[in-house]
Amino acid sequence: MADLVGLKEHCIIESVHGEETPKLCALLKLNRPIMLFADDGDKKKEFARYVPMLQQGDYIAVHDWGTEVWAEHIDPFRHLIEPIFLGQCEELGSYTRFWRLK
Tell me the per-residue pLDDT of 54-65, one tens digit each, with 9 for 90 and over. Answer: 899 999 999 899
Enter the DSSP assignment of 52: G
3-class secondary structure, 20: coil
CB 63 within 8 A of CB 47: no
3-class secondary structure, 102: coil
Strand partners, 69: 65
Residue 96 — very low, low, confident or very high, per pLDDT cuts 50/70/90? very high
Rounded distance between C-alpha atoms, residue 46 and residue 23, angstroms: 15
pLDDT at 4 over 60: no
Rounded distance between C-alpha atoms, residue 8 and residue 3, angstroms: 5
Over residues 4-29, the mean pLDDT reads 65
pLDDT at 14 over 80: no
